[in-house]
Amino acid sequence: MSEEELAQVLAVKRAHEKDLMQKPNVVGVGVGMRSRGGQFTGEPAIVVSVSRKVPRNHLAPQDVIPSELDGVPVDVQAIGFLRVL
């Protein structure tokens, strides 16, 4: 990822992080590489970590995580719950 791409993705993350963190099951928002079918694509993305994935049709429209924000792909990854030990 070039420095320019990273700067763009970070700016979009900062602009949307607060709203994303308000959605059900969201436990974190970061920047990384998009994953499809368990394989990294090499495409920079905003990574939204959720405790568990929920089918889109079981979510209220305002709770759906978009697949793209300001032209940057969004990758939702289920990671479970985070704990501080």
Q: What is the CATH number of the domain that holds 31?
A: 3.30.300
In this structure, is residue 84 part of a structural domain?
no
In this structure, is residue 15 part of a structural domain?
yes
The residue segments making up the domain with residue 67 are 3-78
Which residues in 26-50 are b (16+ Cβ under 10 Å) and which e? beebebeebeeeeeeeeebbbbbbb
Tell me what the mean pLDDT of segment 12-33 comes to: 94
pTM, entire model: 0.85
**Number of structural domains the chain divides into:** 1
Q: What is the pLDDT of residues 39-71, one digit of tens each?
A: 777 789 999 999 998 888 999 999 999 999 999
In this structure, is residue 83 part of a structural domain?
no
In this structure, is residue 8 part of a structural domain?
yes
Say whether pLDDT at 82 is over 80. no
In this structure, is residue 42 part of a structural domain?
yes
Task: Return mean pLDDT, the chain.
Answer: 89
